[in-house]
Structure 1
Amino acid sequence: MARAPAFPDPEGYRRRRLMDLARLLPLLGLCLFLLPVLDADDGLGAGLLIYLFAAWFGLIATAALLARRLCAASAPAPDPAKPGAEAGGQEGAE
């Protein structure tokens, strides 16, 4: 009987952790946007607006980085055994 490997595939494990982080990003955004509500005694000042736009920009940048890494992690590697694997799968185009 074949035994399963003791450790999971490192690339698959890393991709799943990135997906988990992407799922938690909206919750992080909610916490960041509701944090100023705890200290809302002085109203809507310039410092609060700067904080909100900085948090918003940080969330956008984090989402872009996660999307780029997830796309790179899920892209299939070219198979060196297939001729024309780098040509985009157009073997009979000539």
Structure 2
Amino acid sequence: MAPRGSPLFLERGSYRQRRVMDAARLVVFLGVGLWMIPLLWPTGGAAEEAVPMSRALLYVFGIWSLLILASVYLAYRMRWLPKTPEDAEAP
């Protein structure tokens, strides 16, 4: 239970800042998971059709590009978030 003097909820600025930082941490795990998907693709055989190398390379570099864009967006969001409650009140 929270002490009587502390607020029940977080302030909006600090809450958003923490969620953006959490999202930035999760981008790494998202990237690893998406890069592991080609390991599940069929490699060939009598009954299966193998995925062409050109398609696999397009997938890997496409995921790489999306991860870069996600990182840039999250860095932009972290840059403009207020760092302290005093910054949030300034016009």
- 2:61 aligns to what? 53
Structure index of larger Rg: 1
Question: Is 1:63–2:71 an aligned residue pair?
Answer: yes
Deviation string, structure 1 residues 45-93 (Cα, Å, up to 9, x no partner): 111111111100000000000000001004545846xxxxxxxxxxxxx
Match of residue 24 from structure 1: 26
**TM-score computed with the length of structure 1 as normaliser:** 0.72
| Correspondence for 1:73 | 81
Shift of 1:2: 5.6
Distance 1:3 1:58 in 2: 44
State the distance in 2 between where 1:31 and 1:40 align: 18
Question: Post-superposition, which runs of at least 4 consecutive aligned residues in structure 1 deviate over 3 A?
Answer: 74-80
TM-score between the two structures when normalised by the length of structure 2:
0.74
Identify unmatched segments of 5+ residues in structure 1. 81-94
CA distance in 1, matches of 2:56, 2:4: 59
Q: Distance in 2 between matches of 1:25 and 1:36?
A: 18
Two-structure CA RMSD over aligned residues (Å): 2.3
DSSP-derived class of the 1:8 partner: coil
Q: Partners in 2 of 1:77 and 1:6 — Cα distance? A: 19
Corresponding residue SS for 2:81: helix
Higher relative contact order (CA 8 A, sep 6+): 2
Deviation of the 1:35 alpha carbon: 0.8
Question: Number of paired residues?
Answer: 80
